[in-house]
Amino acid sequence: MSMHPPLRKCWMKRGQTKLIPAPGIQRWTHVFGAYNWVTDNMSWTIAPRKNSNAFITFLDHLMTKCYPTQKVVLVLDNATFHTSRASMAAMSSFADRLQVVWLPKYSPFLNPIERYWLHLKNLACANKLYIDLDHLRQQVEGALMRQNLPNSNDRFSLLKNLRPTA
């Protein structure tokens, strides 16, 4: 997630322009996540950098804390932090319970979690400027937590949102 908010359509009075302020310095926080399409729940970790170490931390969290005994199917793209030697070694340590489905290169539209990321950005980030990265992170984590509440109005369901993205 970025300190620069994604801009979306919004209503404004005729003849007036809605101004969305922007931060002076671009800063990021990264969410590593897995969407369980059966339960509509999210598992995630947040990291300051998007690299192999952060991915391995997420993988360990997913396989030891979220799904300690279950079999997991993980759909991954070919990002360098997914395909690095260290990441491949970490995935192989869970080979008895982890099946990885590799997507073709340059095809994010095939990854179902991309629909969830769009939902999350619309919910927590669109047209909003936060005073700092901590406030952005709090809003994102709050939206992620609400996803796992069965009666939340903010809940995303992949099966209800299977229409193609534009």
* Angle ∠(112,153,117) on CA atoms, nearest 5: 25
pLDDT of residue 24: 67
- How far, rounded to the nearest angstrom, does the alpha carbon of residue 42 sit from its chain's CA centroid? 9
pLDDT of residue 26: 73
Q: What is the pTM of this model?
A: 0.81
d(CA 120, CA 126): 9
pLDDT of residue 101: 96
pLDDT at 104 over 80: yes
In DSSP terms, 99 is beta-bridged to 73
pLDDT of residue 165: 54
Amino acid present at 70: Q
Tens of pLDDT, residue by residue over 35-72, are 998 999 999 999 999 999 999 999 999 999 999 999 99
